[in-house]
Amino acid sequence: MPLDVLLTAGSRRVPLVNAFKRALAPLGGRVITTDVNALSPAVLVADRAFRVPLANDPDYLPSLRHICREENIKLLVPTIDDELELIGGARAQFESEGIFVAASSAETAAICNDKHRTCVHLRDHGIAAAASWLPADLPADLPLPLFVKPRRGRGSIGAFAVRTPRELGFFLEYVEDPVIQEYLDAPEYTLDVLCDRGRPLSIVPRERVVIRSGVMDRGRTVRSQPLIELARACAGALEFHGAINIQCRVVAGVPTVFEINPRFSGGIPLTIEAGADFPRMLVQLASGRAVAPSIGQFTDGLWMTSYEASMFVAAERSDELAPHPGRAREVA
């Protein structure tokens, strides 16, 4: 029986759209995306796409529900931080309509969208996480260097290392609503995790060797038991559902978390290629099939090295770039 997937905020997520297409091939289903821009690459490769308002617009959630009803969606996959709390809070409503929602609870999303709250929560549960402070709580004798970044943000935007008191003072004013964290000078890893209502099904650690604009440009899978156990511990401290990624550094042999994103990571193509096919597992769950845990079952030491690719679109598509208020409109 065909199973149609709605992948929100398609943007540049062409590899993820294609991965879901491959997962759906045996069922004959479609991958439908949403976006605010008709020329987003994922819009051009999806089976169908709709323009929707921004996630902070009151019409955003009604637009998604409208698409789900009209297109008979059975699997909803949110992809950006801005919408996670909103969709997590509406998960029961979607599920009452027969839609499997690959999103964690609203409470989990709220904690993870706040980098200070994330680290405090993990440390309260005995999990190694970066020491974090808000400006009002910053001790006077705190040793430098430190890291200042937006309390709520993504893609390393507005994140700065500070090495002097003068730099600290400047960036505390420059960065809006900042969080201050201890400077973790150590190799960085992402732990891709897929959970089914709190139960980890797959965990794949990846070393982030080269990072560009907050996304791994070059890296490799690493079969590390301490990293896998860290992911298990995080899944025990928060209720996760769907794909998540845990960012950490290994300091003196201790994996230390500095943020968690309860969504697909930018480096997920490497995890999928290594044999941990999260889209296929989600399609199976949405089909009502049991998925056995396969933690540690992936190709170790597989490298990914990325490059830019371009798509070319006829000029007449440019008239679809104007934002469309209100309910969803098809853009492809």
Instruction: Specify whether 253 is located in the same domain as 205.
Output: yes
Question: Which tokens hold the place of 56?
Answer: 């902070």
Cα-Cα end-to-end distance for the chain: 25
Instruction: Specify whether 219 is located in the same domain as 282.
Output: yes
Question: Which tokens hold the place of 287?
Answer: 């089909």
Instruction: Specify whether 281 is located in the same domain as 254.
Output: yes
Report the sign of the C-alpha dihedral through residues 28, 21, 71, 3, in that order.
Answer: positive
pLDDT tens sequence across 117-149: 999 999 999 999 999 999 999 998 888 999 999
Residue 255 host element (H or E): strand 254-261
Question: Which tokens hold the place of 218?
Answer: 């070059």
| Confidence (pLDDT) at 317 | 61
Instruction: Specify whether 14 is located in the same domain as 63.
Output: yes
**Does residue 122 belong to any structural domain of this protein?**
no
Backbone phi and psi for residue 57, each to the nearest 5 degrees, phi listed first: -85, 140
Q: What single-letter DSSP state applies at residue 224?
A: -
| Confidence (pLDDT) at 330 | 62
**Does residue 13 belong to any structural domain of this protein?**
yes
Question: At 50, which CATH number?
Answer: 3.40.50.20
**Does residue 115 belong to any structural domain of this protein?**
no
Instruction: Specify whether 199 is located in the same domain as 299.
Output: yes
Residue 138: give the domain boundaries: 131-182
**Does residue 138 belong to any structural domain of this protein?**
yes
pLDDT at 319 over 60: no
8 Å CB contact between 216 and 190: yes
| Overall average pLDDT of the 24-30 stretch | 93
Q: 18 falls in which pLDDT band (50, 70, 90)?
A: very high
**Does residue 109 belong to any structural domain of this protein?**
no
Reference 254, options 231, 234, 226; nearest CA is: 226
**Does residue 116 belong to any structural domain of this protein?**
no
Instruction: Specify whether 241 is located in the same domain as 137.
Output: no
| Confidence (pLDDT) at 141 | 85
Q: How far is Cα 135 from Cα 177, in angstroms, rounded to an integer?
A: 9
Q: Which residues contact 299 (CB under 8 A, 6 or more apart)?
A: 221, 273, 274, 275
Q: How far is Cα 62 from Cα 258, in angstroms, rounded to an integer?
A: 34
Q: Is 230 helix (H, G, I), strand (E, B) or coil?
A: helix
pLDDT tens sequence across 216-246: 889 999 999 999 999 999 999 999 999 999 9
Question: At 214, which CATH number?
Answer: 3.30.470.20
Instruction: Specify whether 81 is located in the same domain as 164.
Output: no
Instruction: Specify whether 94 is located in the same domain as 38.
Output: yes
Instruction: Specify whether 254 is located in the same domain as 203.
Output: yes
Number of domains, the chain: 3
Other CB atoms within 10 Å distance of the CB of residue 139: 7
Buried b (16+ CB within 10 A) or exposed e, 73-103: bbbbbbbebbbbbbbbbbbeebeeeebbbbb
How deeply is 29 buried, as exposed, middle or buried, from its count of CB atoms within 10 A (0-12, 13-18, 19+)? buried
pLDDT at 332 over 60: no
**Does residue 248 belong to any structural domain of this protein?**
yes
Instruction: Specify whether 190 is located in the same domain as 295.
Output: yes
Q: How far is Cα 80 from Cα 265, in angstroms, rounded to an integer?
A: 10
Instruction: Specify whether 250 is located in the same domain as 321.
Output: no
Q: How far is Cα 51 from Cα 327, in angstroms, rounded to an integer?
A: 8
**Does residue 94 belong to any structural domain of this protein?**
yes
Instruction: Specify whether 171 is located in the same domain as 195.
Output: no
Give me the percent of the chain exceeding a pLDDT of 90: 84
